[in-house]
Amino acid sequence: MAKATDVKKENAHAAEARDIERQLHKMREKAESLAGSITTMGAAELRSLKAKTAHFLEEAREHGGDYVREASHKAQENMSETIRSKPLTSVAVAAGIGFVLALLASR
Which residue range(s) make up the domain with 63?
A: 2-106
Residue with the bigger pLDDT between 11 and 18: it is: 18
The CA distance from 91 to 40, in Å, is: 65
Q: Which pLDDT value is given to residue 44?
A: 87
Residue 50 · residue 42 · CB < 8 Å: no
Q: How confident is the model at residue 2 (pLDDT cuts 50, 70, 90)?
A: low
Residue 59 · residue 66 · CB < 8 Å: no
Residue 93: count other Cβ atoms within 10 Å of its Cβ: 13
Number of domains in the chain: 1
DSSP string covering 40-105: HHHHHHHHHHHHHHHHHHHHHHHHHHHHHHHHHHHHHHHHHHHHHH-HHHHHHHHHHHHHHHHHHH
Q: Which pLDDT value is given to residue 10?
A: 79
The closest of 105, 103, 83 to 93, measured between CA atoms, is 83
Asked whether the predicted pLDDT for residue 98 surpasses 70, the reply is yes
pLDDT tens figures, 21-67: 999 999 999 998 888 888 888 888 889 999 999 998 888 888 888 88
Q: Which pLDDT value is given to residue 101?
A: 92
